[in-house]
Amino acid sequence: MIENYIKDGYVILNCPYDHEYINNLKIEINSLFKNDEDVSLSINSLDTNDKTFNKIINILNTDEIQAFTKSLSEHYNTTVSLLPNFHIMRNYHVNRLKANRIGWHRDVASEFGYEYCKEKIKNEKYVFGKVGIFLQENSEDYGGAVDVIPASHLNIKNNKFLRILSSLRLQFLVILQKKLLKFYKLLPEKFYIFFLGAKKTKAKPGSPIFFDSRIQHRGSPIKDKFLRNTKRLGDMHVLVPKTYTKISIYAYFGSTDGADSYMYARTKRPTNEYKRYFTGWKKEIDNYKDIKNLYNSMSAVIEPLIDKYKDN
């Protein structure tokens, strides 16, 4: 499992829950949103005594996830843990005809703008990424999970030229979609997936998908012919027929070096919401004190960073 993650930049774990449990959880989570166009919800904002809150925490703290983060810790010889923010995304879809970069992106992209982060990314103890738990099938018509370009995280730690070279095919498609949309529409998405060497992840609903922050990925797109049944809410959010509502549970994961690089880039952003971003992390972690293993591992990762970011 760990070998696949290192080689491909992502891995799919087993889900210990049956279809009925996951489907019922999806219904419960969907009922937490105030209106049809709301797209995100912080798990930390829920009542800790609420049954849905506890179900969400349980699905983020399964034996499978604990075993995987432990294997990462052993491989990199540093503590690796789930990290804030724990949040729910609803209807994070891609309209492949209109989305910026056709939806493809690296979560680490903003860190490339800072020498401090680039040095951290070279560190062998740098581990950072997301785990997504998708509560529906990844359908051909409306998506439901994530697409990835396996191994696209390689060659980007030390060599800018190799990073650019490895992205040339994607850059060509981005230009094609932006400048020659009529031509771009002529070919089916399956061709572009093949051209990029990409994969549409297929996993049992509720299965955790861990992906490195350096890998190229996107929300799986909606087929063109079904776009007329949707309403675009933003670059990456699309209101779809209720039968195809997409619910995703997300958390970050990483080591101290990975968290440091991520936090450095976030706190350099000009908007006020990021000035006390680390404080928000610490408050969220404190909210999980009753889940000892999770609280202890998260605390171990951020403890060396407290003095650095406490005044931001």
Q: Among 43-52, 92-101, 235-244, where is mean pLDDT lowest?
A: 43-52
Give pLDDT tens digits for 125-152.
Answer: 899 999 999 999 999 999 999 999 999 9
pLDDT band at residue 154 under the 50/70/90 scheme: confident
Per the CB < 8 A criterion, the answer to whether 63 and 16 are in contact is yes
Per-residue pLDDT tens digits for 253-308 = 999 999 999 999 999 888 777 778 899 999 999 989 989 999 999 999 999 999 99
Whether residue 219 is predicted with pLDDT greater than 90 in this model: the reply is yes
pLDDT, mean of residues 161-171: 76
Average model confidence (pLDDT) across the chain: 92
CB 218 within 8 Å of CB 94: yes
pLDDT confidence tier of residue 26, bands split at 50, 70 and 90: very high
DSSP label at residue 118: H
Please count the CA atoms within 13 angstroms of the CA of 94 that sit on its side-chain side. 23
Q: Which amino acid is at 274?
A: Y
State the pTM of this model: 0.93
Which is nearest to 82 in space by CA: 40, 44, 122, 129?
129
Report, as an integer, the average pLDDT of 8-16: 95
Contact 79, 20 (CB under 8 A): no
Residue 165 has a pLDDT of 65
Q: What are phi and psi of 106, to 5 degrees?
A: -110, 135
pLDDT at position 159: 62
Contact 247, 135 (CB under 8 A): yes
* Residue 241 token pair: 């027929």
Alpha-carbon span 68 to 72, nearest angstrom? 6
Asked if 136 and 144 touch (Cβ cutoff 8 Å), the reply is: yes
pLDDT of res. 311: 62
Place of tokens 């610490």: 282
Average pLDDT over residues 50-59: 92
Residue 162: pLDDT over 80: no
The residue assigned the tokens 């970069």 is 101
SS3 assignment, position 153? coil
DSSP 53-73: HHHHHHHHS-HHHHHHHHHHH
pLDDT (0 to 100) of residue 157: 61
